[in-house]
Chain A
Amino acid sequence: MKFLQNFGEYILFLKAVFTKPEKLKIFRQQIITESYNIGNSSYGIIALISTFIGAVSTIQIGYQFEGSLLPDYLIGRIVRDSNILEFAPTITALVLGGKVGSSIASEIGTMKVTEQIDALEIMGINAASHTSFAKIIGGVITIPMLVLYAMILSLVGGAVSGWLSGIISVEGFVKGLRTGFVGYNVVFAMTKAYTFSFIITSISAFQGFRTVGGALEVGESSTNAVVYSCIGIIFFDFILSQLMLF
């Protein structure tokens, strides 16, 4: 019951957000700023995480191949598919759900409790749209780019760790990468990335916007934003996998 009510409020919030901005020039500027902020604050951590996830997946798959009769280069193929299909989009989204989600929720939540949202409303500005629209668009532009970048780095990380640990040569790994490549997998991964980025930014903006109270509640909203974003990501990961892979 509570869930349905919240979901209804979320839909009404989105309806308020997706209205024509007051001034397109300002809106464009906001989108550029938001995209830049998300990308600039996250590319480092995403690089670190995806490279290591790629590296670890090579080692773990190599470990499972040990003593088997399967050809080595298949390691490259499995690393590629698991990183493109699952690790790069989903882990990137979960990390950004924490990082971007909490920052969006606390920024908007603080504006709410310090009456900045009221100040916007009194000026005759649609505050939901003014505070959230550009953030959502910025996220939907930038987060999929970060996912793509995570995919590439995870494969690089996989190749390097295979080579350093002596599990598989770089040539072997690359051969694996090139066998049985299915372009559709990338389409699937990017569909996930777009879905997740919308989930993260819209849920977090909503959580921030409905904050009532003071600093304590801003903290709560920010935690909720992360929790609900992550639940949304996992849930849609499952749904999209069901829908698109079988």
Chain B
Amino acid sequence: MIIVENVNKTFGNKHVLKDFSAKFYKGKCNFIIGASGGGKSVLMKCMVGLITPETGSITFDDRDFLKLNYKEKINVRKDIGMLFQNTALFDSLSVEENVAFPLRMFTTFTEEEISDRVNFCLSRVNLINLNKFAPSNISGGQKKRVGIARAIALNPKYLFCDEPNSGLDPLTSRLIDELIKDITIEYQITTIINTHDMKSLFVMGDNIVFIHQGNKWWEGEKEGIRSSENNELLAFMEASEF
């Protein structure tokens, strides 16, 4: 479980996160939704430590991240997997080397064990026969899947996905959604997904946090959305109906 408490973040005089608190649960797909510019990505970057908020705390199962020293922070980070919005694959490495990278850095696996683990992760995301390709030579959806394979290579406890299916066709989007949902349940990961895609929210959302202009505006299970009386949330849902 990850607990975010009273986080404030400003850029210059722009107050992006306003006393933000939320909880994200283990073995569940926790969604962060909200309008563009609302602060979703900033929140996620605060949680993984790429941005340091001015105040507040972020606790990973009893480990108060912002209070840890450098070494202890690294230990938390080894438990984090992240899928970036634009995948951030290492373009100097092949698909299989991208997935092998965290294994090479942090395990004492032999070449054979690494190769087994890589093939397992790649088959988990339904990617076979692309091992030797460069990231620039595969499609957007394939890149996302390599990104997921890399993120799960070290069996993370926490998985962060920044817009996992933006820019993908609906079919591939659903595949990626299912994949994330399956591994979340299978490995009991605390998964946090930041998205605009209401369809994936209704398919796989367990716990939902709605950000409005840097405030937590609503929180709950997806069943509660339609019956909520929160105008901004309803407007947001209505806009994505078709």
Binding site for B on A (CB under 8 A): 22-23, 26, 107, 110-111, 114-116, 118-119, 121-125
Which residues of chain A are within 8 angstroms of B92 by Cβ–Cβ distance? 107
Which residues of chain A are within 8 angstroms of B101 by Cβ–Cβ distance? 123
The smallest C-beta distance from B183 to any residue of chain A, in angstroms, reads 18
A-B contact pairs, 17 of them (CB 8 A): A22-B105, A23-B105, A110-B91, A114-B91, A116-B91, A118-B84, A119-B84, A119-B88, A121-B49, A121-B50, A122-B49, A122-B50, A122-B82, A123-B80, A124-B73, A124-B77, A124-B106
The answer to whether A119 and B91 have CB atoms under 8 Å apart is no
Given A23-B104, A26-B104, A118-B50, are A123 and B88 also a contact pair (CB < 8 Å)? no
Complex: A116 Cα to B89 Cα, angstroms: 6
In the complex, whether B48 has a CB less than 8 A from a CB of chain A is: yes
Given A114-B86, A119-B82, are A124 and B75 also a contact pair (CB < 8 Å)? yes
The smallest C-beta distance from A200 to any residue of chain B, in angstroms, reads 20
The answer to whether A116 and B77 have CB atoms under 8 Å apart is no
The smallest C-beta distance from B232 to any residue of chain A, in angstroms, reads 30
In the complex, whether B102 has a CB less than 8 A from a CB of chain A is: yes
The smallest C-beta distance from A134 to any residue of chain B, in angstroms, reads 13
The smallest C-beta distance from B203 to any residue of chain A, in angstroms, reads 27
Complex: A231 Cα to B166 Cα, angstroms: 45
Given contacts A118-B84, A119-B84, A119-B88, 17 further A-B contacts (CB under 8 A): A22-B106, A26-B104, A26-B105, A107-B92, A110-B91, A111-B90, A114-B88, A116-B89, A116-B90, A119-B82, A119-B90, A122-B77, A123-B101, A123-B106, A124-B73, A124-B77, A125-B105
The answer to whether B78 and A123 have CB atoms under 8 Å apart is yes
The smallest C-beta distance from B192 to any residue of chain A, in angstroms, reads 13
Complex: A119 Cα to B80 Cα, angstroms: 11
The smallest C-beta distance from A108 to any residue of chain B, in angstroms, reads 11
Which residues of chain A are within 8 angstroms of B73 by Cβ–Cβ distance? 124
The answer to whether A124 and B91 have CB atoms under 8 Å apart is no
Q: Select one of B80, B90, B105 contacting A122, CB under 8 A.
A: B80
In the complex, whether B237 has a CB less than 8 A from a CB of chain A is: no
Question: Which chain A residue lies CB-closest to B89?
Answer: A116
The answer to whether A115 and B86 have CB atoms under 8 Å apart is yes
Contact with A along B96-108 (1 / 0, CB 8 A): 0000011011100
Which residues of chain B are within 8 angstroms of A115 by Cβ–Cβ distance? 84, 86, 88
In the complex, whether B74 has a CB less than 8 A from a CB of chain A is: yes
Complex: A125 Cα to B78 Cα, angstroms: 9
Which interface residue of A22, A115, A123 has the most chain B CB atoms within 10 A?
A123
The answer to whether A116 and B88 have CB atoms under 8 Å apart is yes
The smallest C-beta distance from B204 to any residue of chain A, in angstroms, reads 23
Complex: A32 Cα to B144 Cα, angstroms: 31
Which residues of chain A are within 8 angstroms of B77 by Cβ–Cβ distance? 121-124
Which residues of chain B are within 8 angstroms of A124 by Cβ–Cβ distance? 73-75, 77-78, 106
> Which chain B residues numbered 55 to 73 have a C-beta less than 8 Å away from chain A?
73
Complex: A9 Cα to B61 Cα, angstroms: 35
Question: Which chain A residue lies CB-closest to B71?
Answer: A124
Complex: A146 Cα to B50 Cα, angstroms: 40
The smallest C-beta distance from B31 to any residue of chain A, in angstroms, reads 20
Complex: A26 Cα to B114 Cα, angstroms: 14
Question: Which chain B residue lies CB-closest to A23?
Answer: B105
Question: Top 10 closest A-B pairs, CB basis?
Answer: A124-B77, A115-B88, A124-B74, A119-B88, A124-B78, A122-B82, A115-B84, A116-B88, A122-B48, A22-B105
